[in-house]
Structure 1
Amino acid sequence: MADQNEPQGFFDKPENISKMLKVFYVICGLLVIADFVVHRHIYHDWEKIPAFYAIYGFVGCVVLVLIAKEMRKLLMRGEDYYDE
């Protein structure tokens, strides 16, 4: 448990987390808007889809999480593995 006299860090204050999330959402929105404005050198037809890279990145992260959850079932040790 943390000492009560210990000063709070930046990430311990909920208002700082809220501000950081707002900045993050604004940056994400600006990047999606920039996707419509910035000229890209397209090599494949599917890259013409609006916000393709944002969708591709999101789907990639979701797939990684789902694969990791399944791998956990195979690789996880019991709670008392080191106490045996």
Structure 2
Amino acid sequence: MTPNTDPNEKPGFFDKPSNVAWILRIFYALCILLFVTDFVVHRHIYTSWEEIPAFYALYGFVACVVLVLIAKQMRHVLMRSETYYDKDTEEESHVDR
């Protein structure tokens, strides 16, 4: 975070560490509440492995990790060199001469 350059400008909500800590506490409390709710609420399951406690939380976590790993590999396929667009302008400048 960069400090405000204007001394008259009010600091933003997320500039105060106490506000960020408060939001994180709420987030963690909601995560715990949803985890506990998983043991209380009746689920209509279709496969036997959905009976595993916290199955949906584990499934979501594994899915996110897999997506990140796939994205890292796709980066190598899709990434262009830093001078990719400069090559066109260099070729055009040679043609103009």
Number of equivalent positions: 84
Give the Cα separation in 2 of the matches to 1:77 and 1:2.
35
Query: Which one scores higher on RCO, CA 8 angstroms, separation ≥ 6?
Result: 1
User: What letter corresponds to residue 68 of structure 1 in structure 2?
Assistant: A
TM-score between the two structures when normalised by the length of structure 2: 0.75
TM (normalized to structure 1)? 0.85
- Partner of residue 31, structure 1: 34
What root-mean-square deviation, in Å, do the aligned CA atoms of Structure 1 and Structure 2 show? 1.8
In structure 2, the gaps of 5 or more residues are 88-97
Percent of aligned positions with the same letter in both sequences?
63
Q: Give the superposition deviation at 1:2.
A: 7.1
- Find out whether 1:72 has 2:69 as its counterpart: no
CA distance in 2, matches of 1:82, 1:3: 36
